Structures are given as structure tokens and as C-alpha cells.
Amino acid sequence: MMLGCLLVPCLLLSPVQVLSQDVPEIVDLLAGSWEGEGELLGRPGDFSMTWDAREGGFLRLSFRNGWTADDGTVTPVLAAEAVYHLRGDSGLGVWMDSRPQQLTLQAELTDSSMVVLWTAAAETGRTEYVVRGDMAHVIDVVFVDGVERPFAEASYRRR
């Protein structure tokens, strides 16, 4: 167990340009830093995400969002880190955020999209990432009594 605790920080800190196994093109399309605008919990939102491919089939996401006031100031809402292990067109991962909450992630990848089903003790949901050129569109939904309820949607530009 201690070895696993020591390896995770190394994976998070050692950037590698390419994953060591064949994965859909979406991984290359997502790589890099993105800034987005959209709606967060019914209010104007500001979003950023950075994706890094790592050696051994790992993919790391650093994420943050916040509410945008009329004067342009941003009030932080959530910061998170996620690590995926990818094999072909699927992957498993873990998300940890500032609420604090830990989510288990299951990803399905195509050449232009990544759909992630996430589960925590008190919630389940789905996040969809779709990339077209230098634009990415992300939709987040939570499942409440079997019904999808969108809580965030953003359009991102590559930084």
C-alpha cells in the first residue's frame, strides 16, 4: 500500500508527451490547457481544464470552475484533480475535489469525445467532453431519482 502512495505523486508530477498504448485521438485533442465560459448551477460560469498524457497509459486532468459576476470577477466554486488509466477506448480513474469528494470514473473514448460516468457515495453522474478543432464542449449531469439533471455546460477555447 505504501508503494502505491509513493507512486501516485510521481505520476502526477512527471509529464510525458505520449501515452504508451494506442488510444483514440481524443487524448491528443484534449492535451493542453483550456479556458471556458458557460453556465454553472444556473449562473454564468468560468472554467479551466488542463490535460496531460503520462507514461504507462495515464491521463491527468486539473480542473477548476467558478461563478462569474456582472463585473467579470470570478468566485471560485470547485477545484479538482483526476487521474485516468486508459486502455484502448476505455479507462478507469479517480477524481478528488475541494468539496471534498472522491469520485470513481469510468470513461469511454472515441476519436472526438470522451464520456465519463462518475460515482461517489452520495451521487452519480456523467460528463461529456467533445472536441472540434480548437473548441471543446463539456456537459455535466447528475442523476437524481433516475433523471438526468444538467448542472454545468461550457464551451472552451485552447489556451
Q: pTM (2 decimals)?
A: 0.85
- Taking the domains of the chain in order of start, what are their residue ranges? 2-158
User: What is the tens place of the pLDDT at every residue in 21-55?
Assistant: 578 899 999 999 999 999 999 999 999 999 999 99
Residue 18 pLDDT class (50, 70, 90 cuts): very low
Residues 94-123, mean pLDDT to the nearest whole number: 96
- Output the nine-digit C-alpha cell for 35: 479556458
Q: What is residue 12's predicted lDDT score, i.e. its pLDDT?
A: 43
Question: Does the N-terminal peptide bond of residue 15 adopt cis geometry, omega within 30 degrees of 0?
Answer: no
Alpha-carbon separation of residue 103 from 76, 99, 100, 123 (angstroms): 20, 11, 10, 9
Q: What is residue 22's predicted lDDT score, i.e. its pLDDT?
A: 77
Q: What is residue 28's predicted lDDT score, i.e. its pLDDT?
A: 94
Percentage of the chain modeled with pLDDT above 70: 87
Angstrom distance (rounded) from CA 73 to CA 143: 31
Mean pLDDT of the chain: 89
Residues 121-134, mean pLDDT to the nearest whole number: 95
CATH topology of domain 2-158: Lipocalin (2.40.128)
Q: What is residue 72's predicted lDDT score, i.e. its pLDDT?
A: 95
Closest CA to 138 of 21, 29, 59: 29
8 pLDDT higher than 70:
no
The b-or-e profile of 35-68 (16+ CB within 10 A means b, else e) is ebebebeeeebbbbbebbbbeebbbbbebbbbbb
